[in-house]
Amino acid sequence: MLPTFQPRPSSRRSAWSLVELAVVLFIMGVLAAVTAPRYTATLARYRVEHAARRVAADLEQARTRARLQNLSLTIAFNLAGESYTVAGMRDLDSSRTTYMVNLAGPPYNCELASATFDADATPNAEDQNVTYSRWGIPDSAGSVFVRCGNLQREVRVRAVTGKLEIVE
């Protein structure tokens, strides 16, 4: 007859003590406190960069469309509404007939700090516009400032060339 195996009662404990649990929670709290500000700053930097690139891409798209379709297009920046529209361009995201981007909503969660163009009589007014001629030339030079938290980016439009650049 073969001997049967019987496990010996374990003298080890199978649960954590309250002190061990408190130490682990303390370490997790310290790590969270150290990484949270860095995460918040990284998220703000990502959002402001993304919003500035969106503004620059839409300005370039309006410029290109004006040249290709041989018509003038106006981009109207509404500072109070934190948005801008391009009349004559259809919005791809919805059934609206006017292309509109709201920078205050997701995924940007930024603000349209200011938009100033030389052709406008009053700088930093509620509404600022830039119009691209049918040759893709803007009616004036200008800047659009996008802010998220304490970070800000400027999108510059050059007068004659229409060249765009994003500046910190």
Render pLDDT for 70-126 as a digit per residue (tens, 0 to 9): 999 999 999 999 999 998 887 776 667 789 999 999 999 999 999 998 765 555 566
Backbone dihedral angles phi then psi of residue 57, each to the nearest 5 degrees: -65, -40
Contact 87, 73 (CB under 8 A): yes
Judging by DSSP bridges, how do beta strands 83-86 and 73-78 pair with one another? antiparallel
Q: If we measure between CA atoms, which residue out of 163, 164, 167, 86 comes closest to residue 131?
A: 86
When the pLDDT of each residue in the chain is averaged and rounded to a whole number, the result is 87
Percent of the chain with pLDDT over 70: 87
Q: How many helices (H) and strands (E) does the chain have?
A: 1, 8
